[in-house]
Amino acid sequence: MSVDTLSPLPGRKQSLLSRLFSRPLDVVISVTVLLFAASVLWQLSKWAIIDAVWTSPDATSEVCRGVSGACWAVIDVRWRLIVFGLFPYEEQWRSSLACIVMVIVAILSCVPMFWTAIRLSALWIVGFSIFYALMAGGVLGLTPIAPDKWGGLTLTVFIYAAGMLIGMPMAIALALMRRATLPVIARTTGIIIDSVRSLPLITILFTAALVLPFVLPEWLLGDKIWRVILGFALFFAAYEAENIRSGIQALPSGQEEAARALGLTYWQRTSRIILPQALRNALPPTINQFVISFKETSLIVIIGFFDVMASGKAAYGSGEWSFAWVEVYVFVALIYFIFVFSLSRYGAYLERRLRVGQH
Partner 1 sequence: MSETAIQIRNMNKFFGTFHVLKNINLEVAASERIVICGPSGSGKSTLIRCINRLEEHQDGSINVLGTELDDNVSHIDQIRREVGMVFQHFNLFPHLTVLENCTLAPMLARKTPRGDAEAAAMRYLERVRIPEQAAKFPGELSGGQQQRVAIARALCMAPKILLFDEPTSALDPEMISEVLDVMVSLAKDGMTMICVTHEMGFARQVADRVIFMDKGEIVEEGAPADFFGAPRNERTRQFLNQILSH
Which residues contribute to the site for partner 1 (CB under 8 A)?
A: 252, 254-255, 257-265, 268, 272-273, 276-277, 280, 357-359
Calpha distance 231→296 (Å, rounded): 12
Please identify, using beta-carbon distances, which residue of 1 and 356 lies nearer to partner 1.
356
Cβ nearer to partner 1, comparing 222 with 276: 276
Shortest reach from residue 284's CB to partner 1, in Å: 17
CB 274 → partner 1: shortest distance, Å? 10
Q: Which is nearer to partner 1, 4 or 257 (CB)?
A: 257
Between 54 and 266, CB nearer to partner 1:
266
Minimum CB distance to partner 1, residue 173 (Å): 22
CA distance 264 to 279: 20
> 19 or 272: whose CB is closer to partner 1?
272
Select 220 or 356, whichever has its Cβ closest to partner 1: 356
**Residue nearer to partner 1 on the CB measure, 4 or 351:** 351
In the complex, least distance from residue 272 CB atom to partner 1, rounded to whole angstroms:
6
CB of 88: closest distance to partner 1 in angstroms? Answer: 49
Contact 26, 20 (CB under 8 A): yes
Q: Are 84 and 154 in contact (CB under 8 A)?
A: yes
- Using the minimum distance from each CB to partner 1, give the nearer residue, 28 or 258: 258
Give CA separation, 76 vs 61, 247, 276, in Å.
Answer: 11, 47, 46
Minimal distance, residue 183 CB to partner 1, in Å: 16
CB of 252 vs partner 1, minimal distance in Å: 7
* Residue 310 neighbours by CB under 8 Å, 6+ apart: 151, 301
Q: Which is nearer to partner 1, 15 or 268 (CB)?
A: 268
Q: In the bound complex, what is the minimum distance in angstroms from residue 350's beta carbon to partner 1? A: 14
- Distance in Å, CB of 269 to partner 1, minimum: 9
